[in-house]
Amino acid sequence: MYIAMNRFKVIKGREADFETVWRSRRSYLQELQGFIEFSLLKGPEKEDHTLYSSHTVWATKADFQAWTTSEQFRKAHANAGKGGPLNILGHPEFEGFEAVIIEDNRAGSVAAE
C-alpha cells in the first residue's frame, strides 16, 4: 500500500474557499487501477495559516505513479489556479509513504509487504 500526501498551508480566514475548490472539482481517481481512498484533512491552526493535507491511498507505489502520468491526472488538474487562488502560502509539500504495518478495523489486521 502507498499513501501520497500533499500538505497545504492555507491562509487564515480562507479555509472555506480552499475547501470549496476541492469539493467542486472532479478527481477522476475512481477510474485508476489501484486507487483505494481519498481524504482532504484539516489540521492544526498556526498564527498565519491552517494546515491541510490531501491524502490518497493506493494499492502500490506504481499505481500512484501511473496516476501522475495519466490523462485523468491531466484532466483533474487542468483548471488548477483558474478558478481563483487556492489561498495557500508557498507550494504544496508532497510526502509519499510505503506502508509497513496496516491495521484496519474494516478488514481486520494486515501486515504490509
Q: Are 38 and 54 in contact (CB under 8 A)?
A: yes
Residue 45 has phi, psi (to 5 degrees) of: -90, 135
Residue 40 belongs to domain spanning: 2-111
- pLDDT band at residue 21 using 50, 70 and 90 as cut-offs: confident
Residue 69 has phi, psi (to 5 degrees) of: -115, 10
- Give the count of domains, the chain: 1
- pLDDT band at residue 13 using 50, 70 and 90 as cut-offs: very high
pLDDT, tens digit (0-9, with 9 covering 90-100), for 63-94? 999 999 999 988 887 766 555 566 888 888 99
Model-level pTM greater than 0.85? no
Domain with residue 14: its CATH number is 3.30.70.100
